[in-house]
Structure 1
Amino acid sequence: MSVLYIALPAAILLGAAGLIGCLYCIRSGQYDDLESPSLRILQDDNES
């Protein structure tokens, strides 16, 4: 029972950190362009 006093706040803190990290990534624009990275592998960028 006493382990809940450590595990429950730790789980809440980790969940909050994940949520804050996800919101930061969304607001900073990392998920704005989801199409180009998958097509970029098909382009030939050899300069020679």
Structure 2
Amino acid sequence: MESLYLLIPLSILLVFVIGVLFWWSTRSGQFDDLEGPAHRILMDDDSPPGEDDAR
């Protein structure tokens, strides 16, 4: 029973910290473009290396 006096406030504090971190990440634009990086991997540049330097 005594362990609940420690675990309940710690769990409430942990939920608060996770909520603040999630709020900060959404406000800073972390979740703005979820598909862009995946599409950039698939867009392959077919020119051989060094060809851009010759231009």
TM-score > 0.5 by shorter chain = yes
| TM-score, normalised relative to structure 1 | 0.85
Structure exhibiting the larger radius of gyration computed from Cα positions: 2
| TM-score, normalised relative to structure 2 | 0.76
What is residue 2 of structure 1 aligned with on the other side? 2
- Which protein has greater RCO, CA pairs closer than 8 Å, 6+ apart? 1
Q: Which runs of 5+ in 1 are unaligned?
A: none
Q: Which runs of 5+ in 2 are unaligned?
A: 50-55
Give me the CA root mean square deviation: 1.6
How many residues matched?
Answer: 48
